[in-house]
Amino acid sequence: RWQKIFMFPLWSKMAVFWNKMFLTIIVLLIVLFLDAIREVRKYSSVHVNEKAANVNSSAFDHIQMKLFRSQRNLYLSGFSLFLWLVLRRTVTLLTQLAKEMASHAALETQVNDATEAAKKYMAENKRLQEALSGKGDGKKKESTDATEEKLKEEVEHLKAELQKTSNAFHKAKTEVAAVKKQSDGLRREYDHLMKEFEQLQQSLNKAEDKKDL
């Protein structure tokens, strides 16, 4: 299903602009994050100075509001930057998993075909041996021996191909399992970060409500 989704012709057309768009968004989020850090430092120092100077309450509340907004922008831009990178990694892992699953299915089909062909040649070899035991004609026997040797070589070749395909199949299966494990770990980390983000958002909303009161 994921392979069908990510292999749409539309994505191949957008692939040229996707990296540029991703880098543009990353740069924009980094700029916003750095600007939020600057604002937090600015209003934190002003907040301390104004508190020490014992200015009127309205000016002090205005500085607190600015500090709160700068902190909120810092959290939002930081989490957005991190989640955007997580999203990029998730899409990459899903694409790799879809390709590995497709390769896994192709190798499995190839192994089945090679097995069927090997069984077929072994059955023909058995029939030829039965024919040799019932007839003693010299020329036919020599011809049958040559055919039998040829069939034996083909069977050995097919067995070698089958072993090679089986090894590739097991290797692909191991890679698919590794990608699945990595994807599960990333998903759990993403869920944990989303829970922390929701808790932080709730705390920010409570702080803003108290500020409004």
pLDDT digits (tens, 9 = 90+) for 113-142: 878 877 887 887 777 777 766 654 554 555
Where b means 16+ CB within 10 Å and e means fewer, 87-125 reads eeeeeebbbbbbbbbebeeebeebbeebeeebeebeeeb
CA 164 to chain CA mean position, Å: 27
Q: Residue 34 is which amino acid?
A: L
pTM of the model: 0.47
Q: Where are the beta strands (DSSP E) in 4-78?
A: none
Structural domain spans, the chain = 8-129+180-212
Instruction: State the Rg of the chain over Cα.
Output: 34
pLDDT digits (tens, 9 = 90+) for 12-22: 777 777 778 88
pLDDT at 212: 55
Model confidence at 145, pLDDT cuts 50, 70, 90, reads: low
181 in Cβ contact with 77 (< 8 Å): no
Question: Measured on CA atoms in the order 95, 96, 99, 105, is the torsion positive or negative?
Answer: negative
User: Which one, of 165, 163, 209, 184, lies nearest residue 94 by Cα?
Assistant: 184
Q: Residue 48 is which amino acid?
A: V
DSSP-assigned letter for residue 96 = H
